A and B are shown apart, each in its own frame.
Chain A
Amino acid sequence: GAVVSQHPSRVICKSGTSVKIECRSLDFQATTMFWYRQFPKQSLMLMATSNEGSKATYEQGVEKDKFLINHASLTLSTLTVTSAHPEDSSFYICSATPIQGALETQYFGPGTRLLVL
C-alpha cells in the first residue's frame, strides 16, 4: 500500500514551453501533497505544500506564478512549470500523507526528471 505515482517519469522540452507533472496517490487519499526539487548531487528542497481545494503554500524564493500547483482531488496534484528555461532542469519529486492510517508518514513518488533545452 501507500503508493504514489508521477507522470511523466522524464520529459524534455524546449525553452519557453510549459510542462505539467502529475502526482497521484494510488491507494490512499491525501489532503496534503508536497512538491520538492532536487538538483544533481544536492538534497531535496521543498518547493510548496499543496492542499486539496485551496491554494498552495510556497516556500520562500519559489515563484508561485512560475510553478503552478493545482490540487483538484484527494488523489491528484499537478505541478506546471510555466515558460521553462534550462535552469529549471531538475528532478521534481512529490509526496503525500494519507488522511487515514499512518498520518505521520509521507510517501514519495518516483520523481520526474525535467530537461529544458
Chain B
Amino acid sequence: DAKTTQPTSMDCAEGRAANLPCNHSTISGNEYVYWYRQIHSQGPQYIIHGLKNNETNEMASLIITEDRKSSTLILPHATLRDTAVYYCIVRIIQGAQKLVFGQGTRLTINP
C-alpha cells in the first residue's frame, strides 16, 4: 500500500471547518483513499473513502486532487467531539484488505 504523509498535529476552533491534508504521491490507479479517526482509548471509526471524485457524507467531505497525489478531509463545522487522531490510508479494494496505519494527524478542537 502507498505511503501517506500527514501533519503531526493541527488545531481548529470549534464551529469552524477543519481541513486535514494528506499527501499520497505514490498512489496507484487502483488504490482508494480512506479516512479513519480514533478518539482517545477507542477503536478507529470509518469516516469516508474515495477513488478520484470528491465525496461527501454526513460526517465529512473528501476532496481528492485531479492527479490524486493528495487529498483533504473536511469537517465542515468542527465540534469538541471531533478531537481525535485522523488517519489517511490508501489501499486497493481487492486483495488482503488490510489497513496499514501511519501516525495520523492529532486534531484538537478548541472552544
Given contact pairs A43-B103, A97-B97, A104 touches B49 in the complex (Cβ within 8 A): yes
Residues of A with C-beta under 8 A to B43: 4, 6, 93, 95, 108-111
Is chain A's binding surface mostly helix, strand, loop or mixed? strand
Q: Residue B45 at the A interface, CB < 8 A?
A: yes
Residues of A with C-beta under 8 A to B36: 108
Q: Residue B21 at the A interface, CB < 8 A?
A: no
Mask, B43-57, CB within 8 Å of A = 1, is 111100100000000
Residues of A with C-beta under 8 A to B97: 32, 97, 104, 106
Give bound CA distance, A43 to B49, whole Å. Answer: 20
Mask, A17-36, CB within 8 Å of B = 1, is 00000000000000010101
Q: Residue A83 at the B interface, CB < 8 A?
A: no
Q: Residue A44 at the B interface, CB < 8 A?
A: yes
Give bound CA distance, A108 to B103, whole Å. Answer: 18
Residues of B with C-beta under 8 A to A106: 46, 97, 99
A104 near B93 (CB under 8 angstroms)?
Answer: yes
Within 8 A of A (CB), among B1-52: 32, 36, 38, 41-46, 49
Given contact pairs A46-B99, A46-B100, A49-B96, A104 touches B44 in the complex (Cβ within 8 A): no
Residues of B with C-beta under 8 A to A107: 46
Residues of B with C-beta under 8 A to A113: 41
The size of the chain A interface, using a CB distance under 8 A, is 25
Residue in contact with B101 in the complex, picked from A6, A32, A44, A111, CB distance below 8 Å = A44
Residues of A with C-beta under 8 A to B38: 44
| Beyond A6-B43, A43-B102, A104-B97, 11 extra complex contacts between A and B, CB < 8 Å | A43-B101, A91-B41, A93-B43, A104-B32, A106-B46, A106-B99, A107-B46, A108-B36, A108-B45, A111-B41, A111-B43
Residue numbers of A with Cβ under 8 A of B are 4, 6, 32, 34, 36, 43-46, 49, 57, 91, 93, 95, 97, 103-111, 113
